[in-house]
């Protein structure tokens, strides 16, 4: 259990009674209140199986009004809650630490409107990312966000974590593309900031409080998102290079030569690719190299894009910056290339226990942390590898071991955060703080910033019922 491994003390919240359960059953009906221990299990364990809570009450509202009534009741009765979307979060934020009531958005899965001209869609928080993309795809639009967990994660979870993903380089982050948010405050009040306007400077931009606050300030119930037009032409390349310097040179040239069509630039190191060629027996289209680069372009004219990409490849390979590579625009081949990249996260779990770090590091020093950790930990690990969104200076550093050990944990943390901080990086680039990183926020935020965040939390959730033990360090 999380509370034992991490030595946390339960807050002074009420214990769930039959009277509380009767209220929830009355509100939602029996089918939407789960209390059977075996059914509760999957809501208590996170995706990477790092943390486990012990909630015996999972609530599945369908509407904003139901969420509002649940929160009003929980606030009055001092019952702690944990909002949960697809439960694909990687920092232990989506599952309870103790017996918090889980508010699952799984049944809040309706797309309410799609404006084909402006590209603005409005949907409930529990819509699965991939489902939205498919539905709006039929109307020539795409979601400006894509990630390996797209088949399970919910848009409300994406907004609450300010998820980045594979194409942030091109389409920007959710603070830009989310136009409006509807959320329910801790006291049950519904906050309608569901603007569908691109420009709306009427006072404070309150929606931003809910983008990336990981369920600590309210439950997101609906979102309005600006969606771009689906590209008519998609091309990809998979390249092998000899050194990290060559990766940087390739990136620079890519930006210069592919310019406006570049939609993704991802790095995979040799040991990361080994995860999927080893555990899943996937085939790499090129022989072994120390580093691989995955490039994708989105454009409106295939002839033009293909020519640009081929010209870029010819020159980069001609100069010896890129040693080998393959380019394609066949959907099945592109899918295979994406699978190589997207399956790494899951495949790593087959090594045993994985310490995962999602760091923003200034691009020149981006990869050095893998070497530093190799020097520090060396042979004790099954694997120390790095991959990620290099186009956004975001590395996923992973250290896998046969099993969890406290000793190794102490050897890695807080060192990895100190190191990142010394480079003026961020200890959480896109996954959030959740439970596992709350005591490390100070490595990336000043005391004044943390105080202000704590003031905002106190103001919006005075009884601290929303996702306790997460995001912020305990205030004094
Ligand atoms: P959950 O995991 O259920 O919740 C995440 C956090 O948000 C929790 O703190 C939860 O309490 C809160 N929350 C959820 N819904 C709501 C709501 N409606 N209102 C308020 N709070 C809420 N992340 C990236 O950024 N980029 C990636 O490229 C990426 N790739 C991934 C690949 C894989 C294979 C996996 C498993 C995960 C990946 N992630 C990535 C992490 C994860 O998918 C994202 O953080 C995602 O946005 C979480 O969405 P979710 O619906 O699963 O949220």
Domain parsing of the chain, residue ranges = 2-107, 111-226, 234-343, 352-432
The residue among 102, 90, 178 whose CA lies nearest residue 467 is 102
273 three-class SS: helix
Supply the residue whose CA is at minimum distance from atom 44 of ligand 1.
89
Query: Is the preceding peptide bond at 414 cis, omega within 30 degrees of 0?
Result: yes
360 three-class SS: strand
State which of 88, 109, 214 you would mutate to test the pocket of ligand 1, scoring each by most atoms of that ligand within 8 A of its C-beta.
Answer: 88
- CATH annotation of 234-343: 3.30.70.2190
| pLDDT of residue 251 exceeding 60 | yes
* Distance from residue 159's CA to the centre of ligand 1 (Å): 8
| pLDDT of residue 475 exceeding 70 | no
Evaluate: CB of 165 within 6 angstroms of ligand 1: yes
Cβ(142)–Cβ(133) below 8 Å? yes
Supply the residue whose CA is at minimum distance from atom 35 of ligand 1.
149
Evaluate: CB of 161 within 6 angstroms of ligand 1: yes
> Which one of 2.70.70.10, 2.40.110.10, 3.30.43.10, 3.40.50.2300 gives the CATH number of domain 2-107?
3.30.43.10
For the chain, what is the mean pLDDT? 96
pLDDT at 378: 86
Angstrom CA distances, 113 to 110, 120, 226, 238, 352, stand at: 9, 8, 12, 37, 44
Answer yes or no: same fold for 234-343 and 352-432.
Answer: yes
Segment 308-337, tens digit of pLDDT? 999 999 999 999 999 999 999 999 999 999
The residue among 229, 241, 300, 301 whose CA lies nearest residue 265 is 241
Torsion on CA atoms 188, 191, 194, 195, rounded to nearest 10 = 180
Atom of ligand 1 nearest to the CA of 221: 18
Cβ(269)–Cβ(258) below 8 Å? no
Kindly list the strands in the beta sheet with 353-360, ordered across the sheet, starting from the edge strand earlier in the chain: 324-328, 233-241, 291-299, 262-269, 383-389, 394-401, 353-360
Q: Mean pLDDT, to the nearest integer, of 257-273?
A: 96
* Distance from residue 148's CA to the centre of ligand 1 (Å): 11
Q: Confidence class of residue 476 from pLDDT cuts 50, 70 and 90?
A: very low
155 three-class SS: helix
246 three-class SS: helix
Instruction: Return the ∠ at Cα 296 (arms to 136 and 240), rounded to 5°.
Output: 150
The residue among 309, 268, 298 whose CA lies nearest residue 169 is 298
Atom of ligand 1 nearest to the CA of 210: 20
Evaluate: CB of 148 within 6 angstroms of ligand 1: yes
What class has domain 111-226?
alpha beta
Question: Encoding tokens for residue 226?
Answer: 């600006």
Evaluate: CB of 47 within 6 angstroms of ligand 1: yes
* Distance from residue 316's CA to the centre of ligand 1 (Å): 37
Supply the residue whose CA is at minimum distance from atom 27 of ligand 1.
165
| pLDDT of residue 130 exceeding 70 | yes
What class has domain 352-432?
alpha beta
Supply the residue whose CA is at minimum distance from atom 47 of ligand 1.
158
Percent of the chain's residues with pLDDT above 70: 99
Evaluate: CB of 124 within 6 angstroms of ligand 1: no
Segment 34-86, tens digit of pLDDT? 999 999 999 999 999 989 999 999 999 999 999 999 999 999 999 999 999 99
Segment 155-211, tens digit of pLDDT? 999 999 999 999 999 999 999 999 999 999 999 999 999 999 999 999 999 999 999
Atom of ligand 1 nearest to the CA of 94: 8
Q: Mean pLDDT, to the nearest integer, of 108-128?
A: 98
Q: Confidence class of residue 7 from pLDDT cuts 50, 70 and 90?
A: confident
How high is the ipTM of this complex?
0.99
State which of 51, 94, 167, 457 you would mutate to test the pocket of ligand 1, scoring each by most atoms of that ligand within 8 A of its C-beta.
Answer: 94
Evaluate: CB of 123 within 6 angstroms of ligand 1: no
Percent of the chain's residues with pLDDT above 90: 96
Atom of ligand 1 nearest to the CA of 166: 28
pLDDT at 50: 87
* Distance from residue 167's CA to the centre of ligand 1 (Å): 16
* Distance from residue 153's CA to the centre of ligand 1 (Å): 6
* Distance from residue 377's CA to the centre of ligand 1 (Å): 29
């Amino acid at each position: 259990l999380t509370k034992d491994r991490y030595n946390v003390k339960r807050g002074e919240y009420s214990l769930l009674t039959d009277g509380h359960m009767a209220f929830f059953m009355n509100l939602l009906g029996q089918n939407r209140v789960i209390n059977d221990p075996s059914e509760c299990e999957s809501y208590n364990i996170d995706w990477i199986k790092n943390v486990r809570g012990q909630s015996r009450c999972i609530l599945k509202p369908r509407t904003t009004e139901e969420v509002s009534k649940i929160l009003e009741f929980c606030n009055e009765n001092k019952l702690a809650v944990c909002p949960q979307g697809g439960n694909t979060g990687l920092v232990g934020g989506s599952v309870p630490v103790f017996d918090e009531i889980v508010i699952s958005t799984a049944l809040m899965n309706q797309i309410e409107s799609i404006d084909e001209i402006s590209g603005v869609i409005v949907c409930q928080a529990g819509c699965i990312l991939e489902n939205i993309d498919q539905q709006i795809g039929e109307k020539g639009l795409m979601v400006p966000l894509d990630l390996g967990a797209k088949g399970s994660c919910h848009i409300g979870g994406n907004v609450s974590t300010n998820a980045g993903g594979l194409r942030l380089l091109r389409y920007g982050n959710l603070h830009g593309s989310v136009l409006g948010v509807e959320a329910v405050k801790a006291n049950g009040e519904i906050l309608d900031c569901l603007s569908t306007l691109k420009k709306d400077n009427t006072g404070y931009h309150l929606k931003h409080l809910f983008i990336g606050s990981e369920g600590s300030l309210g439950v997101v119930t609906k979102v309005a998102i600006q969606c771009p037009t689906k590209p008519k032409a998609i091309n990809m390349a998979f390249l092998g290079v000899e050194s990290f310097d060559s990766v940087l040179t390739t990136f620079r040239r890519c930006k210069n030569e592919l310019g406006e069509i570049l939609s993704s630039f991802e790095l995979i190191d040799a040991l990361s690719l080994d995860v999927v060629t080893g555990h899943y027996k996937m085939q790499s289209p090129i022989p072994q190299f120390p580093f691989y680069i995955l490039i994708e372009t989105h454009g409106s004219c295939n002839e033009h894009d293909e020519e640009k990409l081929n010209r870029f490849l010819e020159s980069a390979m001609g100069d010896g910056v890129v040693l080998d590579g393959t380019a394609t625009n066949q959907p099945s081949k592109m899918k295979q290339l994406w699978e190589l990249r997207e399956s790494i996260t899951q495949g790593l779990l087959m090594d045993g226990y994985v310490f995962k770090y999602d760091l923003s590091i200034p691009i020149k020093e981006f990869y050095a942390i893998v070497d530093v950790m190799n020097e520090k930990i060396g042979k004790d690990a099954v694997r120390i590898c790095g991959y990620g969104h290099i186009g956004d200076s975001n590395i996923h550093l992973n250290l896998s071991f046969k099993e969890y050990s406290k000793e190794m944990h102490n050897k890695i943390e807080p060192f990895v955060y100190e190191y990142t901080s010394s480079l003026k990086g961020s200890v959480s680039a896109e996954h959030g703080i959740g439970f596992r990183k709350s005591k490390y926020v100070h490595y990336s935020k000043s005391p004044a910033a943390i105080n202000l965040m704590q003031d905002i939390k106190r103001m919006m959730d005075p009884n601290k019922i929303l996702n306790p033990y997460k995001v912020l360090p305990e205030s004094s």
